Amino acid sequence: MVADGMLTRKRYREVPPRVDYELTERAQELAPILGELARWGYEWAWGPPRPSESVDLGAIFRLIPGLIEPGSTSSGTVVLTVSDGRAGEPMAYRVTLNNNAVTIAETDEGHADARVSGSAQAWVDALSPADDRRGLSTSGDSRLADELLERFALSAGESADVAASVASA
């Protein structure tokens, strides 16, 4: 993807070695398309994870810029935290919403208007068609956090329609 101009790669001469990848402008133009493909898959092919499967919540969170139109929500910053992320360590994703863009970064640094946290299972439950957010905890501007989660996942009403259409198929 680097050779195709979709990613930039920056290697740090550290121990342990570290490499950062960033989407290029060309790749960022694909975000809405990937978001729509993800939404289609979610609506038509969602199933609970099998016991042997793991869910890459980071990959799901990184789709947020493609799933939410700039200017469609209030402006602000929300940090989403998976308390038992990689190797049991917390993973944080900073979502910045404004009229011009929706961006995401893998960091917890800086001011956040709202914070939403939970275990990996709590996030799977919250993002599933059941929309069960009881396992998530929110601090700060709960209205902004709820608005982000509503735009990011299907609402309960849509989920019921999807479940009914899948069941009848």
CATH of the domain at 83: 3.30.1050.10
What's the pLDDT at 53? Answer: 82
Domain extent for 87: 52-168
The span from the CA of 34 to the CA of 102, in Å, is: 15
The structural domain count of the chain equals 1
Q: Give the pTM.
A: 0.74
The DSSP H or E segment spanning 21 is strand 18-23
What's the pLDDT at 136? Answer: 97
Min mean pLDDT across 33-37, 105-109, 142-146 is at 33-37
- Checking if the pLDDT of 164 tops 50, the result is no
User: Is the Cβ–Cβ distance between 102 and 64 less than 8 Å?
Assistant: yes
